[in-house]
Amino acid sequence: MAVSIKPIIGLPSDVFWKDDQMYHSIGDKYLRAVHDVAHCVPVMIPSMGDVHDLDATLDRLDGIVMTGALSNVHPPHYGHDPSEHHEPYDHHRDATTLKMISKVLDRGMPLLCICRGYQELNVVLGGTLATEIHTAEGRLDHRAPDHEDMDVRYGPVHDISIREGGLLHSILGKTVAQVNTVHRQGIDRLAKGLVVEADAPDGVIEAVRVLGTTGFALGVQWHPEYKAAENPDSVKLFEAYGEAARAYLTGEARPAA
């Protein structure tokens, strides 16, 4: 695929401590999906909370991909009390991303939210999260398979039903897809301003889009970034995101479906 313009895409870092020092990191699979499939330039946005000038950062970017993470959103951000069932946390990421998502939506920048990022999107817009959803009656076990092989852990596990007429439907061109499942938490109360794009057989919401935006604003609970270039649905998703980023860069952005 020949691409003359490469948008710059920001991805937030996760923060962890080692040997009494703080580090910022991003999983390689997200960077590869943005670079190899969306044909954009990925850059890390350090999760530095209140000291980070997010507006200055966003001025230089053409889109944002909110990554998944080992950590979960701190429950007080959506009105719940924290417990061991919600751990682990990353307060530095929360302090950065929850503000950043609002700014990205205000700007109409292309936004793709994955797993934790998907949950962050729901929280920012006023929704809540449910923890340990596999313990609820009638729910599937959405945690990753207990296996050392990453191809098994991130392999397809269940179908999702895709709503006709939505953005995801227009991208994938079908109403049923198979996805992986690597999460303990999920959307509980859907935020106002979000519309369901897909759900799992047990009713867990698997994809949403943002209403009232002027650009690409989609969230998915699964991990399309894992070996994205080898998955036809992931290729379609990241290529569509890349096209939205190029339209934003050139000033030709169109409203999402």
| Cα–Cα distance for residue pair 182/137, rounded to 1 Å | 19
**115 in catalytic set:** yes
**92 in catalytic set:** no
Contacts of 85 (CB under 8 A, 6+ apart): 131, 132
Among 115, 142, 197, 206, which one carries the catalytic annotation? Answer: 115
Pick the closest to residue 194 from 109, 124, 93 (CA basis): 124
| Cα–Cα distance for residue pair 99/24, rounded to 1 Å | 18
Which amino acid does the sequence have at 162?
Answer: I
Among 39, 74, 92, 223, which one carries the catalytic annotation? Answer: 223
Residue spans of beta strands (DSSP E) within 46-200: 63-66, 111-114, 129-130, 158-162, 176-179, 186-187, 194-199
Q: Is the dihedral of CA 53, 106, 223, 233 positive or negative?
A: negative
Beta carbons of 102 and 121 less than 8 angstroms apart: no
**243 in catalytic set:** no
Which helix (H) or strand (E) segment is 24 a member of? strand 21-25
Kindly list the catalytic residues. 115, 223, 225
